[in-house]
Amino acid sequence: MALEDALGGSVVLSRLDRALGWARKYSLFLYPFVTACCGMEFMAAAASHYDIDRFGAGLPRFSPRQADVLFVVGTISQKQAPILKRVWEQMCEPKWVVAFGGCTCSGGPYDNYATVQGIDTIVPVDVYIPGCPPRPETVLDGIMKLQEKIQNQKQEI
């Protein structure tokens, strides 16, 4: 007797971690940590013309306890670094970090003591979105890369 017959009709069988990965990749709750001019491009990517909502990432959360993706957008100064670290620590697992823009990824044109030269010195980064400022298409590509990473990683239950 076939498994479908035993379960009473057509049943989709899948591994649980694949199903969780699929659900998590389409239900991203962003915490936007916006500090500089890249914030305008972030808002443009969230607007109706580009619409990041179709990727399941359109509902920003402004509490780290309700978010699972930390979007660091713009220049991070040394004074902001402990605040950024605290926000990241308050997020529940699983959590991911996206570095948005040249200043966030590498310090940008600010090669001085007051600017963090890449947020990967503070928090682990999952996806880098380059550009000064990055185009909305690049932002959407970064979200798709994050979704692919979430789908393919081992899901903790």
- pLDDT the model gives residue 90: 94
- pLDDT the model gives residue 109: 86
Tell me how far apart the alpha carbons of residues 32 and 27 are, in angstroms, rounded to a whole number.
15
- pLDDT the model gives residue 119: 93
- pLDDT the model gives residue 6: 52
Averaged over successive runs of 10 residues, the pLDDT of the chain (157 residues) comes to 52 66 84 88 81 78 89 92 94 92 88 90 94 89 91 76
All structural domains of the chain, each given as residue ranges with its CATH number in brackets, are: 29-151 (3.40.50.12280)
- pLDDT the model gives residue 95: 92
- pLDDT the model gives residue 98: 94
Task: Record the tokens describing residue 153, joined without a space.
Answer: 């990683």
* pTM exceeding the 0.85 threshold for the entire prediction: no
Q: Return the number of other C-beta atoms located less than 10 Å from residue 111's C-beta.
A: 9
- pLDDT the model gives residue 3: 47
- pLDDT the model gives residue 62: 86
- pLDDT the model gives residue 39: 85
Question: Is the peptide bond prior to 94 cis by the omega test (within 30 degrees of 0)?
Answer: yes
Helices (DSSP H) in the chain: which residue ranges? Answer: 3-7, 16-25, 38-46, 81-90, 102-106, 136-152
Backbone angles phi, psi at 59, to 5 degrees: -110, 95
